[in-house]
Amino acid sequence: MVAGRDWLAALRRYFAFTAVAHLIWEFAHLPLYTIWLTGTTGELVFAAVHCTGGDILIALSAVMLSLFLFGKGAWPAERRIPVVAGAVVFGLVYTIFSEWLNIEIREAWAYRDLMPVIPVLGAGLSPVLQWIVVPLTGFSLARVLPTVRRSQGTVNV
């Protein structure tokens, strides 16, 4: 693969994985929110899809900010760890802020008693873990999965 295109292929793989993983995670942790008890099936589906859209925007913003601040033209071959760490931190900070804002201030959603809450942060464990596990797994897969080059029919690792 041409070195200048590594970053684009890595980002494509990263966002393809994270979009699907965030959607699965959103559906999986719905029972930890009160909407699980009060919402209709349509409202549950809408909530998960709507939140996944937000997750994708957060992921895009976190990665772009991290690349801007810590990346190099040769990323992901160079400066991979600072970019990944920055993206995870930016995603986590926004998620913790959003959880606080939407639970404590706006009261847009609420946790059930089943949701473990991180005492100092006041944020649910599930959304915090989501913003650690999904990005780290996505970056790992983006780095190791092959890229198919259609013009030459070859697979590059």
Task: Provide the pLDDT for residue 147.
Answer: 56
pLDDT for the residue numbered 157? 46
- Give residues with Cβ within 8 angstroms of 4, minimum separation 6: 73
pLDDT values of the chain reduced to their tens digit, one per residue, 157 residues:
445 568 899 999 999 999 999 999 999 999 999 999 999 999 999 999 999 999 999 999 999 999 999 999 888 989 999 999 999 999 999 999 999 999 999 999 999 999 999 999 999 999 999 999 999 999 999 987 665 555 555 555 4
Predicted TM-score (pTM) above 0.75: yes
pLDDT of residue 144: 76
**Other C-beta atoms within 10 Å of 27: how many?**
16
- Which pLDDT does position 153 carry in this prediction? 53
Per-residue pLDDT reduced to its tens digit, 97-128: 999 999 999 999 999 999 999 999 999 999 99
pLDDT at site 6: 82
**Cα separation, 33 vs 134, whole angstroms:** 20
For residues 136-151, one letter each, b for 16 or more C-beta atoms within 10 angstroms of the residue's C-beta and e for the rest, the string is eebbebbbebebeeee
Q: How many domains does the chain have?
A: 1
Check if the beta carbon of residue 108 is closer than 8 Å to that of residue 42: no
Domain that holds residue 75: 3-156
**Gyration radius (Cα) of the chain, Å:** 18
pLDDT at 133: 98
The gap from C-alpha 8 to its chain's centroid, in whole angstroms, comes to 18
